[in-house]
Structure 1
Amino acid sequence: MSNVEAEPIEIECENGPRAGATGRPLSEIITSREVPLGGPRAMPVRRTLPQRQRSLIGAWCFADHYGPDDVARTGGMDVAPHPHTGLQTVSWLFTGEIEHRDSLGMHALVRPGEVNLMTGGHGICHSEVSTADTTVLHGVQLWVALPDDARDAPRNFEHYTPPVVSVDGASARVFLGSLADSTSPVHTFTPLLGAELVLEPRAEVRLDVDPAFEHGILVDTGAVGVEGLELARADLGYVGTGAADLTLTNLTDEPACVVLLGGEPFDEEIVMWWNFVGRSHDEIEQFRDEWQAGSDRFGAVQGYTGDVARLPAPPLPNARIRPRKNPRRPSRP
């Protein structure tokens, strides 16, 4: 998915505090901001990463949550070919269907319960269009920052349909990493976790997790409690490292759905602007110039039939923007 903001902010990202003053894992609520994705009537998405208070959860650096949207009203999704560098995109749907085309030559459909992961290290471009059969579109789009030793990785695409596994009080689909005795074969370059969980009404669900990971709990539907937080729909709850288990509580009389994200803290600083992840302003400027010039770095998408052949990059700011970072890490007692 593209970041189609007309004036994207250049963000220098690093991980922030992971433990509170008591030594317990830090917990906080990250609320979303609404961003128009584009299309004839500007389909809205709710963005929780990156935000001022937190740029990264593990290597997860971008999270958009959208729908359920009536595509007859919003126009659905129609994102023309656009570039990426230094990241992997992770597409996960609850309802609807999206047609994916990329410069690797992949033509695939994104369907509910099936993960599509695209690697665009050195450079890739792709398009995303909701299909004609889609009436309601509902899902998340996530980005993973690649570490320095892999950020020039070649183009790649993986598809996986995780099984539904049962835990006490919930069901889970693990699309990245391992949880509840279920492991995804999809390759990532840093240790990560990605899973959809559906909690039974009023259920309290305990999950064994890796204490080296920090975690994010994105609420899709319902209201959920975790680590003393009460999360509403579209909230992202953050839990820092040190937790060997997480207890999620469905606070409603209906099923609740969450997306659980986790990963080892990503200690490298990155610079994000538009659809690029790099390490410096100068590098981002180079990526932009190459995309505008039609460089072979990104290749070309075949078969897209939208109104524009490719998305032009927004103009860079006239001056370097002051970096926006997570709060400084507290010293441990």
Structure 2
Amino acid sequence: VGLFFAVHLLACGWYVCAGLHEDPEETWLGRRMISSHEGGGESLLDNGSSDPGLQWLHAMYFIMTVFTTIGFGDIYAVTSGEICYVSFAFIVGAIVHSIILGEVISTVTRVDEKGQFSYEQRVLVEKWSSHTELGDEVSSDLQSWTQNQADRWSNQRYDKEGMRHLINGRFLGRSLIASLPEHLYGGELLQNSFFSHLPPRIQETPARLPLLLALSSYRHIFAKKDIVYQRHDFANHVFLVVSGTFAHIGVPRSTGGLDYKFGESSNLRGFQDSVDELSGMSPYQLFSQGAFFGDYSLFQDVPRKASVRCEYHGSCIVVLKNDMMRLVD
């Protein structure tokens, strides 16, 4: 759209350039010959061809040949005014051409980087599958999943350490730092009750804390009945609920609920059976929008004490353990 608008403006200028001459017959409008219905030729100024739309079309055609550096030579500058205007159009065309070429190179580079990243992840999974002797079927499923997720992973890659230094440095103004937290994750991060459970020594949430937390987190979407984590899993994440409902689940008993403890399994089929059993467990502690969970085991550095399931599809802001401990320290 921007390119078309630029060509349109210069084409209109090319037409105006001809109109400002005392004798338009000396301009490109008078020299530009087109075929007539009678088989002869007539210029764009002749009575039968003096259609503004047709003149605009030929002006657009000329400017496009300038912008694309083709230059057929069928329309050209002769008068001093035309030469000056075409020289100006050359400069604008060179700039626009450079911008377009730069955008094309940038797009190709981004696509190539994504393709390279996707290829590296597939090779990594393939070698790991071979090393662990997963088997062809399971290895194929794992590689397919990796391929599907590669684009999302690629979009989330950026220089986090560089951004961390920028946040902690003196480059961002205090007013800007103070205004950013309320916009993180669409304003949902700062509304989480996690920030009301900070240590007593912190009377008010530091402005940089939400920024650093957002830097160390990502949004994960869960479907209904998805298992977030199971009892005895390693505690590697804290989950801040943005939407939906999540719950600790267990086995209901007359004497009280019991956290489900799935048995050890030597194959993926057994693991899937455990997941199926978990989906039949009953919720006994709910976490809805604004709540958070997974913090106790992480800070105590112990395995998970309970299993958590998504009761109604939603999403969480997930913070990695190492990043969380770094913030706490």
TM exceeding 0.5? no
Report the structure, 1 or 2, having the larger helix content: 2
Name the TM-score, length of structure 1 as normaliser.
Answer: 0.23
Larger radius of gyration: 2
Name the TM-score, length of structure 2 as normaliser.
Answer: 0.23
**Larger RCO: Structure 1 or Structure 2 (Cα < 8 Å, ≥ 6 residues apart)?**
1
